[in-house]
Chain A
Amino acid sequence: MKDMYEPYVTDDGRTIGRCLMDMRNITLRFGGVEAIKNISFDIREGEIRAIIGPNGAGKSSMLNVVSGFYVPQEGEVWFRGTKRPPMKPYQVARQGIARTFQNIALFEGMSVLDNIMTGRLGHMKTGLFSQAWWYGSAQKEETVNREAVEKVIDFLEIQHIRKTPVGRLPYGLKKRVELARALAAEPKLLLLDEPMAGMNVEEKEDMSRFILDVNDEFGTTIALIEHDMGVVMDLSDRVVVMDYGKKIGDGTPDEVRNNQAVIDAYLGVSHD
């Protein structure tokens, strides 16, 4: 195997970045249930990495391990070359990891702008007092952060709903706002939990374009869970396939597509 901490060029000419996150022999249990069984994989800089699998395969649990929300009973998580100790979610966010949720988790009563602004919290240094009175360095800080937020708004083309309360938006736009909030944090690693669930074809196309653009424009590494096979195969550079908590495949979309274990898991096995 090639040195995982150095970038290399594949046979078909793509550059694979150095290893950003390395999951080593992860096992996660909830009481007697083993949600993840001894799984290892890596996420490399600048790639779009998909985690797929049938319902209950443990994908969301896996993403929660990556985001630091769950601490696995066994195994190690290495991030940018160092082993990661158990962390609070805000510490993970400071490290440069942002995420979106399967069920949208926005502040419904707040405007789109304010929601996205919350994504900048990790970049704010001033205290409660100066922010509340908009006093001293808080003024300058707000301007700087607002500018960053406006760039995201422009990027995701949601200028027209800037001041709209999130609760009034249709589903597809809420998903986009959630992505915007995650992007506002300027993450190194972006985790997307089913970014296209419940969307129609047009919305899926838009979302795919945004994911590719984010990856292309900001060089953000993206790990995503998605059910729509067409989308996954088109978007991602490499795919991990899970079934019943085990890893049954790992590789480029083409490799995964032709993997017998994956075909069996998705299409079922005949018992004759």
Chain B
Amino acid sequence: MSTATASAGALVSVPHLLARNAAEYGGKAAYREKEFGIWQSWTWSQAQHEIESMALGLLELGVARGDFIAIIGRNRPQLYWSMVAAQMVGAVPVPLYQDAVAEEMAYVLEHCGARYVIAGDQEQVDKVIEVQETVSGIEHIIYVDKRGMRKYDHSAMNSMEDIKATGRAAHERFDRELADRWQSLTYDDTCVMLYTSGTTGRPKGVVLSNRNIIETSKNSADFDGLRAGDEVLAYLPMAWVGDFIFSIGQAYWTGFCVNCPESADTMMTDLREIGPSYYFAPPRIFETQLTNVMIRMEDAGRFKKWLFHTFMGVAKRVGPQILDGKSVGGMDKLKYGLGRLLVYGPLLNTLGMSKVRVGYTAGEAIGPEIFDFYRSLGINLKQLYGQTEASVFITQQKDDEVRADTVGTPTPGVELRIADDGEVYYRSPGVFVKYFKNDESTASTKDAEGWVATGDAGFIEPDTGHLRIIDRAKDVGKMADGRMFAPKYVENKLKFFPNILEAVVFGNARDRCTAFINIDLTAVGNWAERNNIAYASYQELSQHPRVLETIQAHVEEVNASVAADEMLSGCQIHRFCVLHKELDADDGEMTRTRKVRRRIVEEKFADIIDALYSGAPEVSTETEVTYEDGRKGSIKATLDLRDAAVVADQKRMAAE
């Protein structure tokens, strides 16, 4: 085989890295997946064999260089291998969000002109077939899970097993062609195309080259000392750039092992069984885990509660210092050690974080209390800042410079610049090649020197060099009286309360701010249970007077904290309502990565916003909702609109 010769050559593509790993770490675990209750594992050389079989099968099918192959499904080794197999034959893998409805998929499949689709299971195949009614370019569908597929028309469809079998059978004919194709890959060839989630407008196809992915993986892996032998849990959407970097880029660069959970519902159990040493989660997951811990502690016995709260107090006081390697008193050290034995250790084990050496959170701001909670337990949780166009990494925090309010210093190889209007620009080896079939957007995002606009407003702290992000540059506006309006800043403060899942603040070009609030059903539902409050639906619970009172208290607390900031005191919330439905990606109100689409929310709930500003005490509304299978329905509700107390602006008062 060509393995040995290739490992000597330059590592210019993922298939090159695969050959090196199979040669160097051949017997080490590369992939694990829990199936039938047992962790099945594949070594690097087994993975190489599987990937080559797939690639041969793809050649047999007639895949040409430069073809686009769409890949849809949950995180499974087979689908990761499909991506690398696609790269091996010179095609471009395009992973899609598995929970996308057919019409969203249709846009992407049409835009990239995918000739082949590799789908995880029947559900995904059904969507592709629906898409084929309007999009004509798809020639062949390959599916991984055979279940329920027996009766489908197989004239342009095969199971992955068949593809691998025919590939293996035809290897005499295609071995040379395959070796030729992957060995001729260069640093500037496209590695992957990822579609942005699209907070505004249509998704854009971000073309990332081998150089982008490999350089970024190398720099970031060096930064945190990632190595073969590390374990990650691959559970975030495969279509998201982060998963591609962690589960393919860094995994192939360092040779660590990627573990796939059994199903989305078993993720927490699987996390615990695997005990990853490198772990990434969006703030929402950390919040949910903390909420669950707190809920379960509420139900615990008195002694356990006392033990938990006493030692969490100790951890809060000295935990972060100990993690940062600063010295603390001998008594505190002793107490913390005892706490580790009795509380922190078992708790970390339950959370599946006993072995986490490097943990990251990103995507949204994380509440300082939540961040400190995990750090005080001894988890090296850090923040990073990135985007698809940068192959993720722009800034990240060093082990001994972790803070809740910044996103760290530039990743090695990244240059930062703040424009006059406050927007953050960066330049790095990870900067994307272009937006596919969209030169106009490419030109407006990336200038001739390679500087890319992030779309975020922020500043660099002069004494530490850390970057601080204020808000999306587009969202920062001015209120009617000229004061600064930064909705995200206020929303984040609101979302730090466990009872509040989501918040949307309005006020651009208006005289005062108002807000929509989504309650967190887990937290509020548990509270209702403990207080004997009966409710039949989310809608009913959301409008319960005592829930509204609690939320009002939260809003007023946020107002007090916002008022303390001179620049943003205008952003206090004067009126708010608790929405009768959760904002949802299926209804287009959020992106698939769960970011609020402000414009769409504004349009969709215009009647409620008008009512908030008109001062009406309540509003009746009807909202269209989309069910998971794509059918539409509507829900009616009468919402209570509430006034919240605001803190008067001292300076303005004095001036008047």
Contacts and interface: CB of A to CB of B under 8 A. Distances in A.
Interface of A: 146-147, 150-151, 153-155, 157, 159-160, 162, 213, 216-217
Contacts of B36: 147, 150-151, 153-154
Nearest to B150: A216
Contacts of B150: 216-217
A213 B36 CA distance: 18
B151 A216 contact: yes
B463 interface: no
B147 interface: yes
Contacts of A150: 36-38
Given A153-B36, A157-B263, 10 more contacts: A146-B37, A147-B36, A151-B36, A153-B37, A159-B262, A159-B265, A160-B263, A160-B269, A162-B37, A216-B148
15 contacts: A146-B37, A150-B36, A150-B37, A151-B36, A153-B36, A154-B35, A155-B147, A157-B263, A159-B37, A159-B262, A160-B266, A213-B148, A216-B151, A217-B148, A217-B150
A159 B266 contact: yes
Contacts of B262: 159
Contacts of A146: 37
A151 B35 CA distance: 9
A213 B150 CA distance: 10
Contacts of A157: 263
Nearest to A113: B37
Interface in B234-291: 262-263, 265-266, 269
Nearest to B146: A217
Nearest to B628: A202
Residue among A151, A159, A162, A216 facing the most chain B CB atoms (10 A cut-off): A159
B147 A217 contact: yes
Interface of B: 35-38, 147-148, 150-151, 262-263, 265-266, 269
A160 B37 contact: no
Most chain A CB neighbours (cut-off 10 Å) among B35, B37, B148, B265 = B37
B597 to A, nearest CB: 26
A159 B269 CA distance: 10
A172 to B, nearest CB: 14
Given A147-B36, A151-B36, A153-B37, A159 B263 contact: yes
A177 to B, nearest CB: 15
A163 to B, nearest CB: 8
A229 B275 CA distance: 49
List the 3 closest pairs (A to B, CB-CB), nearest first: A160-B265, A150-B36, A150-B37
Contacts of A153: 36-37
Nearest to A216: B150
A27 to B, nearest CB: 40
A235 to B, nearest CB: 15
B519 to A, nearest CB: 22
A216 B147 CA distance: 9
B152 to A, nearest CB: 11
Contacts of A217: 147-148, 150
A22 to B, nearest CB: 28
B14 to A, nearest CB: 30
Contacts of A216: 148, 150-151
A153 B266 CA distance: 13
Contacts of B151: 216
Nearest to B148: A213
B629 to A, nearest CB: 8
Nearest to A209: B148
A111 B38 CA distance: 18
B242 to A, nearest CB: 24
B260 to A, nearest CB: 13
Contacts of B38: 150
A157 B37 CA distance: 12
A206 to B, nearest CB: 11
Considering residues A146, A147, A160, A213, which has the most beta carbons from chain B within 10 angstroms of its beta carbon? Answer: A160
A121 to B, nearest CB: 19
Nearest to B35: A154
Contacts of A147: 36
A262 B263 CA distance: 45
A111 to B, nearest CB: 12
A150 B150 CA distance: 22
B390 to A, nearest CB: 35
A151 B36 CA distance: 6
B153 to A, nearest CB: 15
A137 B155 CA distance: 47
A114 to B, nearest CB: 13
A155 B265 CA distance: 15
Contacts of B263: 157, 159-160
Contacts of B148: 213, 216-217
A255 to B, nearest CB: 24
B643 to A, nearest CB: 38
